[in-house]
Structure 1
Amino acid sequence: MLGLASVVFTYPFVWLISASLKPRTEVFDNALIPHTLRLENFADVWDYAPVLTWVGNSAVVGLAAATTVTISSALVAFGFAYFRFPGRNVLFGLVLATMMLPQAVTMIPVYLIWNKLGLTGTQVPLWAQNIFGSAFYIFLLRQFFLGLPRELFEAARVDGSSFFGLFWRIALPLARPALAIVFVFEIQASWNDLIRPLIYLQETSLFTVPRGLKAVIDTFGNGGEQHWEIVMAASLIATLPMIIIFAVAQRHIIEGIATQGRKG
């Protein structure tokens, strides 16, 4: 069953690789082995669109988004896990309740805020919201922090450590697997995000990869010049960085998921 599932999930990616290596007339012939190998498609992508610039923009935005949401969510999660105060569970429930709000509900108010700040047309709205954390990541990290022995923190308090010292010197080092999950997940989410770049970015030089692919599809795909081999080559270039990241971070992701089952 695992082998069958692997084939089902792998086939579209193999098809994408094959289509990116075919000439224009053979893109949709469904042959996994190209009859005519055309490596020039990848050279054409760089000539027709600033793909390298888009990849760089996505990398900068992704790193900024992942770094800010990891630190802010960890800080809030540690507060919920360590401190005992009246209304803690109610407040935490309100944080989790924000996950029930669809993005479409807050899209216009959030846009008006960024427009009032004069930051529309920049890349700041793509990552700056993460400064305030994410409800899902706060929940995930809180569960991890609850599994840490409280005696470690009490001993540090006896030695004179501040509350921020508990977070920075004890909680964060012990939570590296969970932090790795949050960091990688957010990079993946930011890399694949199309809605926000579509709303906030107008200049081609500021496009991220999904926004750039949308421009490539508009130009060479639907209603364009019908050069789908260019679209496929650009899509493959956009997909490869995420595959590499997950391959490198696989051990940390598995370790982090495995440790989430510990009861606090």
Structure 2
Amino acid sequence: MSTIDDLPPLAKVIADHGLSARKSLGQNFLLDLNLTAKIARQAGDLSECDVLEIGPGPGGLTRGLLSEGARKVLAIEKDIRCMPVLEEIAAAYPGRLEAINGDALEVNPLAHLTPPIRVAANLPYNVGTELLVRWLTPKQWPPFWQSLTLMFQREVAERIVAAPGTKKYGRLAILSQWRAEARIVMNLPPEAFTPPPKVNSAVVHLTALPEPRFEADAKVLSRVVASAFNQRRKMLRAALKGTAPDIEDRLLAAGIKPTERAEQVSLEQFCALAREVAKG
């Protein structure tokens, strides 16, 4: 008997529908409905929000989001095998679940959602980072989402919240922390999933800031940061020499020693450098 609604336990759902997880789709299913409800709660009060979920699979987190009161859930699922299961969930929660069979990298969710919107997902491992970067780098800010509550491999989660001076600090930390408040809210061992992945997982909660922490042009900042970390072992004067012919002067103007390496530079300093580079 399920503990959060009247639908069957997930293990039975998977057996009945023959839903073995596919490695090619980055699938690892969470079967504990108490756990999926706990993840849903990390997204906050959902009663006045539409929720975007990517890769629902057999619907564990979907059921958690609905049982926790989400106004509406839009679930985008690439695996056609999962659609009958999601239709059964939709029937149990009338008018509150819309499931689309498609690629999350191609579907425009805004055609199906009404603000305020939050994102909650156990992201497929093979597209998780790409989706996060897309959500953090829209043309306009604030973005369409209020918050992101996302499951990642723990190593990726640690890169999102990393501080300067650490090995995990890099482009993902800067993109995340420039425009959002990011923190790890849950850790999950491999055995929480079926099949168990070879790595630990973690849930990251990101809350969109009304405006970026420091002034900078998004495209310039992204280019400078990418160049700096693509050669992170080099001093910045060497790693960034293609960014501007007088890059040493611009580094100094931003308060950065040309002999520093990328992981030693704070978010505020990178934004200052982006402003200097943008001067042309």
Q: Which TM-score band (shorter chain)?
A: under 0.3
**RCO greater where, 1 or 2, for CA within 8 Å and sep 6 or more?**
1
Under a length normalisation based on structure 2, what TM-score does the superposition of the two structures give? Answer: 0.21
Instruction: Write 1 or 2 for the structure with the bigger share of helix.
Output: 1
Under a length normalisation based on structure 1, what TM-score does the superposition of the two structures give? Answer: 0.22
Instruction: Write 1 or 2 for the structure with the bigger share of strand.
Output: 2
